[in-house]
Amino acid sequence: MKLRRILPLVIGFVLVPAALMLTVGILILVYGTLPRDYVFGWLIVALVTTTIAGSAATLAVIFREARLAKLQTDFVNKVSHDLRTPLTSIRMFVETLQLGRIPDEARQREALEIISEETARLSGLINRLLDWARMESGRRSYQLTREPVGPIVDSALQAFEALLLQHPATVERHVAPDLPPVMADRKALSEAILDLLQNAHKYTGPEKRITVRAVASGPTVQISVSDNGPGIPEREHKRIFKKFYRARDPLSRTIEGTGLGLAMVKHIANGHGGKVSVASQVGHGATFTISLPALGAVAEAPQGARAARPA
């Protein structure tokens, strides 16, 4: 069990009673002539306060664990559904081809293309879950090298084009010239930007407008992805980066997703010594920004990262 889960219990059952009993002991030593009723009253106060603090801490832990258990259950159900859907399609088309029910060669090629797409979709989901498992266990490290930002953004946009072929959107790219390079794991940072692009595409309406920007801001380079979606309430801004969490908007429940995307983006940004943030108002879209130290502002490799040796 992680420290943050048992901390309320430690405070409620250890620190608070210890502090109160220490206070009572000091009173007894300093004021040895105090009436016994007075000291007994202090002991009653200590006992009642300890009980209340301990009960509150216990309820807080129980509530947190119950909420996490529900999020995990929802996550398992969603992942099971996402795995079952492509598997069902693959099995159906394979059985149809085996039984010879598609004699036309053009239709056979179409069925094989669908099988290939569903296989790639299944593989992508499995790889995503494996990546998250490595992040959670602390086994994913980042090979940091000196990288220009523009090609990393372009790599993410190129990977994003496959989704645009099926569901078009207007995408604008604004990368400031002469940006300072950053210490980055090119593949991981490109994945984080792609996650933000897919997230923006997923939560916007039929007329999708997405803008990617990269600018220098003081000692950092900021890479942002903006959309024209419904926006995110301010109360959700911190929660959306937690694992398994999805916004409470009922419409989001009909959209595919595991609730890991933004949590993975946060992990990658932190692994690069940076951070990810969101700026959004309901009805005015959302802008997610990854801020990374510009080269020269990094004194050492971030925790969990490993700088590659120059060739």
What pLDDT score was predicted for residue 298?
A: 41
Q: Give yes or no for residue 12 having a pLDDT over 80.
A: no
Examine the domain organization and report whether 130 and 208 are in the same domain: no
User: Into how many domains does the chain fold?
Assistant: 2
What pLDDT score was predicted for residue 251?
A: 44
Mean local confidence (pLDDT), 56-70: 73
Strand 305-307 relative to strand 142-147, pairing: parallel
Strand 286-293 relative to strand 142-147, pairing: unpaired
Task: State the CATH number of the domain containing residue 69.
Answer: 1.10.287.130
Mean pLDDT, the chain, integer: 79
> pTM higher than 0.75 for the full model?
no
Examine the domain organization and report whether 130 and 206 are in the same domain: no
Worst-scoring range by mean pLDDT, 61-65, 154-158, 191-195, 219-223? 61-65
Look up residue 177 and give its DSSP letter: T
> Which carries the bigger pLDDT value, residue 62 or residue 173?
173
Q: Give yes or no for residue 41 having a pLDDT over 80.
A: no
pLDDT bin (cut points 50, 70, 90) of residue 173 is very high
What pLDDT score was predicted for residue 125?
A: 79
What pLDDT score was predicted for residue 153?
A: 96
Alpha-carbon distance of 118 to 110, in angstroms, equals 12
Domain-ending residue, one of 109, 140, 171: 140
- Residue 289, beta-bridge partner list: 224, 277
pLDDT tens digits, residue range 223-280?
Answer: 999 999 999 998 888 888 887 666 555 444 445 556 678 988 999 999 999 999 999 9
What pLDDT score was predicted for residue 1?
A: 45
pLDDT bin (cut points 50, 70, 90) of residue 299 is very low
Q: H helices within the chain, ranges in order?
A: 3-10, 16-30, 36-98, 105-137, 149-166, 186-202, 261-271
Query: Long-range contact list for 163-168, CB < 8 A, 24+ apart?
Result: 163/198, 163/201, 167/201, 167/208, 168/208
Mean local confidence (pLDDT), 206-218: 93
Domain-ending residue, one of 140, 161, 190: 140
Tokens of 272: 């690069």
Q: Domain residues for 209?
A: 142-307
Domain-ending residue, one of 112, 140, 168: 140
Examine the domain organization and report whether 171 and 258 are in the same domain: yes
Examine the domain organization and report whether 212 and 272 are in the same domain: yes
What pLDDT score was predicted for residue 301?
A: 47
What pLDDT score was predicted for residue 186?
A: 94
Examine the domain organization and report whether 148 and 128 are in the same domain: no
Examine the domain organization and report whether 201 and 113 are in the same domain: no
Examine the domain organization and report whether 127 and 199 are in the same domain: no
Alpha-carbon distance of 278 to 290, in angstroms, equals 9
- Main-chain dihedrals φ then ψ at residue 140, nearest 5 degrees: -95, 120
What pLDDT score was predicted for residue 104?
A: 87
Task: State the CATH number of the domain containing residue 294.
Answer: 3.30.565.10
Burial of 21 per CB tally in 10 Å (0-12, 13-18, 19+): middle
Examine the domain organization and report whether 211 and 294 are in the same domain: yes
Worst-scoring range by mean pLDDT, 31-35, 161-165, 175-179, 183-187? 31-35
- Residue 307, beta-bridge partner list: 144
Examine the domain organization and report whether 146 and 125 are in the same domain: no
pLDDT tens digits, residue range 105-146?
Answer: 888 888 898 888 888 878 877 887 787 777 777 777 889 999
Examine the domain organization and report whether 261 and 293 are in the same domain: yes
- Residue 120, beta-bridge partner list: none
Examine the domain organization and report whether 130 and 174 are in the same domain: no
Contacts for 120 with CB less than 8 Å, ≥ 6 apart:
none
